[in-house]
Amino acid sequence: MEKNTLIKLKTFHGTLKPTNKVKIGENYWRLIGEKGIVVEIADFNPEKILVIFEKNLDDFDLVNHNPIKNSLYIDKKDLDLY
């Protein structure tokens, strides 16, 4: 996936729901089905890309500590082209 590619989150960590109990702020599975745009490939792992989501992650009560607001590093396998 290249920069500026439109994507949709299809899974998170390869699953549709968490396999263990997670805190509300770490339940990124709530974003499945949401759309975003690829910002960059992670320099620390070529299988992860930085995605800016269209929706505000604060509205989902999710931890958002990445360099760009509403962005998360996501495994490529968890994304579909939109």
pLDDT tens across the length of the chain (82 residues): 899 999 999 999 999 999 999 999 999 999 999 999 999 999 999 999 999 999 999 999 999 888 899 999 999 999 999 9
Q: Is the dihedral of CA 77, 50, 13, 7 positive or negative?
A: negative
Indicate the pairing of strand 79-81 with strand 48-53. Answer: unpaired
Output the pTM of the full model: 0.92
> Tokens for 48?
């992860």
Residue 34's pLDDT is: 98
Edge-to-edge strands, sheet with 6-9: 71-75, 48-53, 35-41, 6-9, 79-81
Say how far apart CA 2 and CA 5 lie, in whole Å: 6
Residue 52 DSSP SS3: strand
Residue 65's pLDDT is: 86
Residue 48's pLDDT is: 96
